Amino acid sequence: MKAVRLHHYGENPKIEDVSEPTLIGPWDVIVDIGAAGLCRTDLHIIEGQWDPIQHPHLPYTLGHENAGWVREIGSAVHNVKPGDTVIMHPLTSCGLCPACRVGQDSHCENATFPGINANGGMAQQLLTNARAVVRLDAGLLPQDVAALADAGLTAYHAVRKAADVLFPGTHAVVVGAGGLGHIGIQALAAITSATITVVDRSEAALELATKLGAHHTVLSTSDDDVEKKVLEITEGGAHVLFDFVGERGAELLAPRLLRNRGSHYVIGYGGAVNIPTIEIISREINVIGNLVGTYNDLVELMTLTAQGKVTLHTAIYPLDAALDAIADLTAGRIVGRGILVP
């Protein structure tokens, strides 16, 4: 089968033929991939940023946002059957460790992370397990939801964590309306009552944000200008700020857009948050990290998607054009999410 394989950090992956996966254990599931998402994490993987954390054995197949149709199941699998349309939680979790026992499967002690530390879904087939597959509503197609498996799940997870404090009269500020942010905006509109303000460097992204539920938008020019406009719109700063960029200066601007006792939710990454400790204590502000969401988060997100409350803005590429898609993402030519279809 065809697969997008990373051989060396700092170099583009290669599209090559590899063997199809086979069932190994009773809980295994093999999925015919219908679509695989492409995101900035894939760029960071290619750069080598994840090597110190995950130590994948090169070469391996990229792709951590995957959806498709069940092809084959192990002897113990009963939650899906061949032919079912499914989306995969990014991690294959064990179900037995303390984190899994309390539903925090994204922190599973024995997890694998297809596309990051094991073979992923930028291929024609993927080996996963029964705990990772979520059966989809009949009206949903893999290419319409694949990127929700990680980008959407991560964005929703952050919003879900903050939802209890985003009641009427509060202000949520979203920094970055791209692949992650445009999903976060919809989640905010769907499950909170907050007033939503979006900051981005792209006028096209801000136009999309308005269509997706943003009440206010701010074009990012200079940091001082953004700070002035956001503090004016929010009447003193965000109660919760969602940083979907996390690099290129966004992570440094974010604390300036918070009101006292506000929370900076870090979702994008690549930079470093730098806040004097005296500012943290005197303003009582919080910095909160957000990993990919839980299995239950993914189920909730798929429900919102089936209801039409969350949709993906996508650019579709055939699997053979994966390198073109990577180049377009690197150059900022993709608005929303890039999707590879075998």
CATH topology for 154-289? Rossmann fold (3.40.50)
pLDDT in tens, 286-329: 999 999 999 999 999 999 999 999 998 889 999 999 999 999 99
Global confidence as pTM: 0.89
Helix axes 151-162, 181-191, angle to 10 degrees: 40
225 and 261 in contact (C-beta within 8 Å)? no
- From CA 251, how far away is CA 254, in angstroms rounded? 5
Q: What ranges do the domains of the chain cover? A: 2-150+293-341, 154-289
- Kindly report the average pLDDT of the chain as a whole number: 95
Q: Rounded to the nearest 10 degrees, what angle do helices 203-212 and 181-191 cross at?
A: 20
Confidence of residue 23 (pLDDT cuts 50, 70, 90): very high
Q: Express each pLDDT in 243-284 by its tens digit.
A: 999 999 999 999 999 999 999 999 998 899 999 999 999 999
pLDDT for 151 equals 87
Q: Is the CATH number of domain 2-150+293-341 3.90.180.10? A: yes
What per-residue string of b and e applies to 12-39 under the rule 16 or more CB within 10 Å gives b?
A: ebebeebeebeeeeebbbbbbbbbbbbb
pLDDT in tens, 118-148: 999 999 999 999 999 999 988 899 999 999 9
Interatomic CA distance for residues 213 and 32, integer angstroms: 34
Rg of the chain over all Cα atoms, to the nearest angstrom: 20
